[in-house]
Structure 1
Amino acid sequence: MSQQPDRTTHGAAPPALDDPGLRADCANCFGLCCVALTFSASADFPVDKAAGEPCSHLRTDFRCSVHRELRPRGYQGCTVYDCFGAGQKISRITYAGQDWRQAPHTADEMFALLPVVRQLQELLRYLTEALTLEPARALHGELRAALAEIEQLTLADPATLLALDVGARRAAVNPLLLRTSELVRAQVKGRKKNRRGADLFGARLKGADLRGADLRGAYLIAADLRGADLRLADLIGADLRDTDLRGADLTGSIFLVQPQVNAARGDTDTRLPPALVRPAHW
């Protein structure tokens, strides 16, 4: 079984946001998202697929036979999804490299673990980012402790993980992330906009000044944010499907993750935090 780095050492440098363990690594995964997840014929998928049923494009080596043509073929949902490293952790650590084809009796359990470990890995991603934020230095001790606890949970045995109340773990970490957000956004002087959980579906926000705004969980589906200033805004959980981010400035925005960016529309003038990759379809 692979050994994971110890991130709890006192005084150690904070983990990096480009840690490959926090990104999907399909080459080291048993195609779990291509089997475990449900597809529904829609704008995101061209066909229906039940949970536990392998996608028809999944090859015997667990790679996708149409990976380079996903969007033209209607598999936009696949280009948006990211497991935050859960797939390879389950495949290579939890099951020590034994895949569900070699051991069919593990298949259902392995597939059921994906959404559980994915949520834990997402929490690791947020905690890792929080540890890179200088304004939140006073919270780094608590953040490190929370990160160590969540990381140990991701390495637990299947029975422990499947019995885990992930919602309770998220609720326990959330206040710490909120305090981090407040410290970071305090760098923006004056009153900041609070749009937490707001329904901004299709909102016309072109050129809006949203510096330091609280957009946690906001519904920004198909909103027009062209040229908007989103520096130091908190975007955790914001729904950015088809959000127009062309020319928008997201420099320093916090808790923005790759799946959100992948779901949005942008261009070469969209400014992203350095840890995120500009999607090929932009």
Structure 2
Amino acid sequence: MSEEDRNAHAGTGRRLDLLGDCESCFGLCCVALPFAASADFAVDKDAGKPCSNLRTDFRCGIHTGLRKSGFRGCTVYDCFGAGQKVSQVTFGGRDWRQAPETARQMSDVFPVVRQLHELLWYLTEALALPPARPVHAELRSALDETERLTLLDAGLLADVDVAAHRQHVNTLLLRTSELVRAKAGRRTKDRRGADLMGARLKGADLRGANLRGAYLIAADLRGADLRCADLIGADLRDADLRGADLTDSVFLTQPQVNAAKGDAATKLPPALNRPSHW
């Protein structure tokens, strides 16, 4: 088995651990995170306060009707598996209702682990990309260190400098992006952090484009070719991806896809799911 095949095989297993498993979580996203009344949420909620729709079994009472009930933001969010990690590993299966003394710390730790798990998602993807072979050793080291941080006890997790760690990881992800985008064999305008809100990009050839952190809110990307484009951190809220090809796009995540508009003709990377609301 080649190195690429080994990395891809291992990556498949890792990514299963980076998918949210609500059955193994204590509803942490419904407790730890704040939200404000807006187009995404029907009401205000403070951090650490359980959502009024959270049932005693930690399931959502309006899960099948979230969008109709004004909670579109909940259908976009994804914890990258941090919920079950904190619930079952960090706190050993003790939930905040049975052990109220853990509630505050659990709410503080969850966002930290969520950020680390997002980095694990990116690093796992990078290791499965053959063009990134020159940095695979560094990527693997960064992945191991990130995983180590997620396994710290609750007291130490709260003090992790995620921003500093993210900066180190991002240097490797940027190098990965450069190697992958070079595969597209074409020069493209650097659109990193570009304001492309509402941009008319229907049918655009964006192969190999650098769209890291770009604002693509409500952009028309129907039929656009985004293969090998770097989409890490790009804001795709209400972007129209109907018929777009994102097959080999780099660092695209489920929350980004969930926030966009698409259809049956939209081509997604194999690790991502087509949202039920498309």
- Identify whether the pair has TM-score above 0.5, normalized to the shorter chain: yes
2:3 corresponds to? none
1:49 to 26, 45, 48: 45
1:159 to 146, 152, 155: 155
- Provide the rounded CA distance (Å) in 2 between the counterparts of 1:43 and 1:18: 34
Q: How does 1:50-199 map to 2 (within 5 A)?
A: 50-199=46-195
1:279 to 271, 275, 278: 275
Higher helix share: 2
- Provide the rounded CA distance (Å) in 2 between the counterparts of 1:62 and 1:193: 47
Identity rate of aligned residues, in percent? Answer: 69
Amino acid at match of 1:92: Q
Q: 1:244 to 1:11 in 2, by over 3 A?
A: closer
CA deviations on 1:163-204 (whole Å, 9 max, x unpaired) are 111000000111100111111111111212310001111111
Maintained 8 Å contact 1:17/1:128: no
CA deviations on 1:23-71 (whole Å, 9 max, x unpaired) are 1111000000001111211110111111111111111110111111111
Flag structure 2 segments of 5+ consecutive residues without an equivalent.
Answer: 1-5
Question: 1:12 Cα deviation (Å)?
Answer: 9.9
- Provide the rounded CA distance (Å) in 2 between the counterparts of 1:197 and 1:12: 30
- Provide the rounded CA distance (Å) in 2 between the counterparts of 1:37 and 1:265: 25
Amino acid at match of 2:145: E
- Provide the rounded CA distance (Å) in 1 between the counterparts of 2:67 and 2:117: 26
Amino acid at match of 1:240: L
Flag structure 1 segments of 5+ consecutive residues without an equivalent.
Answer: 1-9
Question: 1:14 Cα deviation (Å)?
Answer: 3.5
Aligned Cα root-mean-square deviation (Å): 1.4
- Provide the rounded CA distance (Å) in 1 between the counterparts of 2:224 and 2:242: 9
Amino acid at match of 1:52: G
Maintained 8 Å contact 2:26/2:83: yes
Question: 1:13 Cα deviation (Å)?
Answer: 5.1
- Provide the rounded CA distance (Å) in 2 between the counterparts of 1:12 and 1:214: 24
2:250 to 254, 263, 266: 254
- Provide the rounded CA distance (Å) in 1 between the counterparts of 2:7 and 2:38: 49
Question: 1:18 Cα deviation (Å)?
Answer: 6.8
| Runs of 4+ with deviation above 4 angstroms | 10-13
- Provide the rounded CA distance (Å) in 1 between the counterparts of 2:33 and 2:155: 20
CA deviations on 1:215-262 (whole Å, 9 max, x unpaired) are 000010111111111011000000000001011110100100000000
Question: 1:15 Cα deviation (Å)?
Answer: 2.1
- Provide the rounded CA distance (Å) in 2 between the counterparts of 1:241 and 1:11: 32
2:201 corresponds to? 205
2:28 to 14, 26, 32: 32
- Provide the rounded CA distance (Å) in 2 between the counterparts of 1:255 and 1:184: 11
Matching of residue 266 in structure 1 with residue 262 in structure 2:
yes
Maintained 8 Å contact 2:8/2:128: no
Q: 1:18 to 1:67 in 2, by over 3 A?
A: farther
Q: 1:12 to 1:277 in 2, by over 3 A?
A: closer
Maintained 8 Å contact 2:186/2:208: no
Q: Which moves more between the two structures, 135-144 or 104-113?
A: 135-144
User: What is the TM-score normalised by the length of structure 1?
Assistant: 0.94
Q: 1:133 to 1:225 in 2, by over 3 A?
A: same
1:16 to 7, 12, 22: 12
